[in-house]
Amino acid sequence: MKHPRFTPFLVGSIVTCVLASSAWAQMSVDKVAAVDKTLQAVKARYNKMPANKQQLLDGTANAVHFADVWHSMGMRMADPSFKAHQGPVVPVPGGAIIPVSATGAAKDLTYSSMAGFTQSETSTARCGNNVVVGFNDSGSVFETPYYFNGIGGQGFSGFAYSNDGGATFTDGGPIDPGPGLGNFLAGDPGLNCGDVNTFYYTQIFDYSDASFNPYAAVAINKSTNGGKTFGPPTAAVSKSGFYHSLDKPWSTIDPSNHQNIYVSYTDFDFSGTSVTCGFNFRTAIEFVYSNDGGTTWSAPVVAIEVCGNGAVQGSQMAVSSNGTLYISWVNLGTNFPLGPRTIQVSSYSGGTLSPAVTVDQTQPGGDSYYLQGLFRDFLDMAMTIDHSGTISDGTLYISWADGRDKIVPDPVAIQGYYAYDDIFLRTSFDGGQTWGFSARKVNSDIQPRFASGHDHWQSGLAVDNTGALGICWYDRRNDSENFAVQRYCAKSTDYGNTFPNVNTGLSAFAPTHGGDEFINSIYMGDYDQPSSDFLNINSGFFSSFQTQGVRGNPDVVGYRF
């Protein structure tokens, strides 16, 4: 049996030796000014939102924070003394656990000790032996001018690719932000593939037109060479940046027709033009689709919309072997960040959206917004579907973090108590109509009866060509004080009934955050999406996720099981 192992890769740990180039590039004053206009428009609409809506933002919250940094420091990058280049990369052997310090400082601290060294929040796609991982990358702020000759927009995301099933990776650099000087790719990556050559990268996209009118969008960048390079972004959906903020995108491909691509997102809408909400603030889960491989896109389809204090966020999608789309989200009620939350799901087929079905009511973990260590984690739900072609084909799975089994009074917590998260799972065998009698707990440890407990959070799911379910999550079970973070995974071969837990062997790290000037100080990644082979050629799973080592430098590693 092959032993699960780590693969070091990405911007902090890269397995391919690449010599630092002697080529240089510099930002122009015009580019810095144009990006500043775009980012200030992002901040302006953020300031129009109620405080409880601002708290709901995912990648946009990073863009808002970065807007202030760029406004005060961006022109320094137009100074002739600043010359963008590719940071040096130290070669390391593949297929072993590699500490971040092996290459982290050499790569991440090329430009600054204060910013540009964070890689986190991953999404993975695999087709055949080609694996591509996307991630948020504050270092792309510095490297974008080098990779794109100082022209075009600015990026906040990167990628790495593998041609050997995830055994070794090559850093691909930042994602192409396109020719528009004011273009800003804000991250929240989603990776998908349709064949061994064709990969898609979706993320938040902010830009302005020739008259500096702002637009809020979701971008899709396409690769036709197995994920080695990506073309410029096109907008899958775009709305006025004066009245809309599009956040938390997700994407998926139809296994029955690889030309069918779906992109979902949350629309924070204060346009006052909604038929349902009138002049009240509107929050909606919407999606768009393309039937021609991303060339053209449909008008938005509304999965759910709520008005005023109502809140929905965190959509995910999966498509069955027969082409039915399933879209899920978290309904956060009307008293966010307090109160119970509900996971809901709808299906979409033949142009018809089904009524929403409740999967479960959840108990928010931590103090309902923060986990111990004061980093946010309020959206914690994952969904996948079995399209293996086996007897289990069509089975839907949804997992989430839930604090229902261990609640301890805490006078400092937002909700007056701290709820220690476990990972729960529900399964549907009838197209999402019913979800079983009760949720199953995935993590095998038991919360202690007395004193504090242990957090388990941010699960990700995938199903392989045998119908096996793979799931990974962050885990604190081995620290009696509930600080040190490790990574656990499990593989279920019985429809999610049992989950033999495996400690991946990653060295425990403290939840360090707020150390990178480019990053929102309460951010430590909001999801990590594992993958199986979309083409059903290979069995098993590849999971990418953040590690920080002993130095608190956020990098990304991979685990095959």
pLDDT value of residue 9:
42
Residue 132 CA from chain centroid, whole number: 14
pLDDT at 96: 35
Q: Using CA atoms, how far apart are residues 70 and 473, in angstroms rounded to an integer? A: 34
CA distances from 28 to 38, 149, 422, 445 (A): 16, 11, 49, 55
- Beta strand extents in 43-175 (DSSP E only): 119-127, 130-137, 154-155, 157-162, 170-174
Please state, as a whole number, how many other Cβ atoms lie within 10 Å of the Cβ of residue 211. 5
Note whether 66 and 42 are within 8 A (CB): no
Supply the DSSP string of 103-137, one letter for each residue. THHHHHTSS-SSSS--EEEEEEEEETTEEEEEEEE
Measured distance CA(299)–CA(454) in Å, rounded: 44
Specify the pLDDT at position 87.
58
Return the sign of the alpha-carbon dihedral for residues 378, 464, 318, 240: positive
Distance between CA 399 and CA 389 in Å, rounded?
22
> How far, in Å, CA of 291 to CA of 304, rounded?
23
Nearest by Cα to 343 from 428, 263, 406: 428
Structure tokens at 436: 């079983």
Parallel/antiparallel/unpaired status of strands 325-333 and 5-8: unpaired
Q: How far apart are CA 384 and CA 97, in angstroms?
A: 28
Measured at the CA of 523, the angle between CA 185 and CA 410, to 5 degrees, comes to 155
Q: Which token pair is 48? A: 């129009």
CA 316 to the chain's CA centroid? 11
Backbone angles phi, psi at 337, to 5 degrees: -90, 5
Structure tokens at 172: 């691909």
Domains and CATH numbers, the chain: 363-530+539-561 (2.120.10.10)
Number of residues that this document lists for the chain = 561
Q: Which residues of 419-439 are buried (b: 16+ CB within 10 A; e: fewer)?
A: bbbbbbbbbbeebbeebeeeb
276-305 burial by CB neighbour count: b if 16+ within 10 A, else e? ebeeebbbbbbbbbbeebbeebeebbebbb
Q: What DSSP character marks residue 549? A: T
Residue with tokens 């996720």: 545
- Tens of pLDDT along the chain (561 residues) come to 444 434 444 333 333 333 334 456 778 899 999 999 999 999 999 999 999 999 999 999 999 999 999 999 999 888 888 777 665 554 444 443 332 223 344 567 778 889 989 999 999 999 999 999 999 999 899 989 888 888 899 999 999 999 999 888 888 889 999 999 999 999 999 999 999 999 999 999 999 998 989 999 999 999 999 999 999 999 999 999 999 999 999 999 999 999 999 999 999 999 999 999 999 999 999 999 999 999 999 999 999 999 999 999 999 999 999 999 999 999 999 999 998 899 999 999 999 999 999 999 999 999 999 999 999 999 899 999 999 999 999 999 999 999 999 999 999 999 999 999 999 999 999 999 999 999 999 999 999 988 889 999 999 999 999 999 999 999 999 999 999 999 999 999 999 999 999 999 888 999 999 999 999 999 999 999 999 999 999 999 999 999 887 788 898 888 999
> pTM for the whole thing?
0.94
- The answer to whether the beta carbons of residues 62 and 525 sit under 8 Å apart is no
pLDDT, position 98: 30
